[in-house]
Amino acid sequence: MQKVAIVGRPNVGKSSLFNRLIGRREAVVADFPGVTRDAKEGLMLYHNHRISLIDTGGLWSGDEWEEAIRQKAEWAMEGAQAIIFVLDPREGLSAADYEVADWLRRLNKPVIIAANKIDSPKHEPYMAELWGLGFGEPLPISAEHARGLDDLMDRVLTHM
């Protein structure tokens, strides 16, 4: 089973993306951070690939960078072939985004930058900043409006 993890600080749209890709409202979606307490796993089919998708949810609860939380996140991502790093470029990069980025660099797995909440082409200029994370070309998506999801999954498949 191929495994793909969705990571990012709270409120960037991880659960929205998970739900959109899984096609069910399985994960909790909410306006405030920290609602999804545990990692959620769901199955998706894409071009004949069965992919186990993991919403790492509340494993990244902002300021808490204790060892236990980090280990739980690492456990959830064990065996993942690729990681979708979700960001909200309309909000700009925050310290929490950079902490996640540093942590992902140490994991040494393929990372795909999903620039979420790019609901229309007029939001695309916000994406330029994301090149600075050092993970290559950011892909514009909108979990809410189902934009860019095929391009995102095509990129994921290059790592499988």
Binding letters toward ligand GDP, positions 129-148, x by CB under 6 A: -------------xxx----
Rounded Cα distance between 147 and 120, Å, is 8
Q: Name which of residues 11 to 40 contact ligand GDP (CB under 6 A).
A: 11-16, 29-31, 33, 36
Compute φ and ψ for 55, nearest 5 degrees: -95, 110
Strand, helix or coil for residue 27: coil
**12 annotated among ligand-binding-site residues:** yes
Strand ranges of the sheet holding 40-46, from the earlier edge strand across to the other edge: 40-46, 49-55, 2-7, 82-87, 111-115, 139-140
Q: Which residue has the tokens 């979700």?
A: 86
Tokens of 150: 């095929």
Least Cβ distance, residue 48 to ligand GDP (angstroms): 27
Answer for which of 3, 40, 117, 155 binds ligand GDP (CB under 6 A) is: 117
Pairing of strands 2-7, 139-140: unpaired
Examine residue 36 and tell whether it contacts Mg ion (CB under 5 A).
Answer: yes
The answer to whether residues 145 and 151 touch, using CB atoms and an 8 Å cutoff, is no
Which CB sits closer to Mg ion, 37 or 90? 37
Contact partner at residue 26 from Mg ion, ligand GDP, none, CB < 5 to 8 Å by partner kind: none
| Residue 52 beta carbon to ligand GDP: minimum distance, rounded to whole angstroms | 18
The radius of gyration of the chain from alpha carbons, rounded to an integer in Å, stands at: 14
**Judged by CB under 5 A, does residue 57 bind Mg ion?**
yes
The minimum distance between CB 152 and ligand GDP, in angstroms, equals 12
Annotated binding site for GTP: 8-15, 55-59, 116-119
User: Interface residues with ligand GDP (CB under 6 A)?
Assistant: 8, 10-16, 29-31, 33, 36, 116-117, 119, 142-144
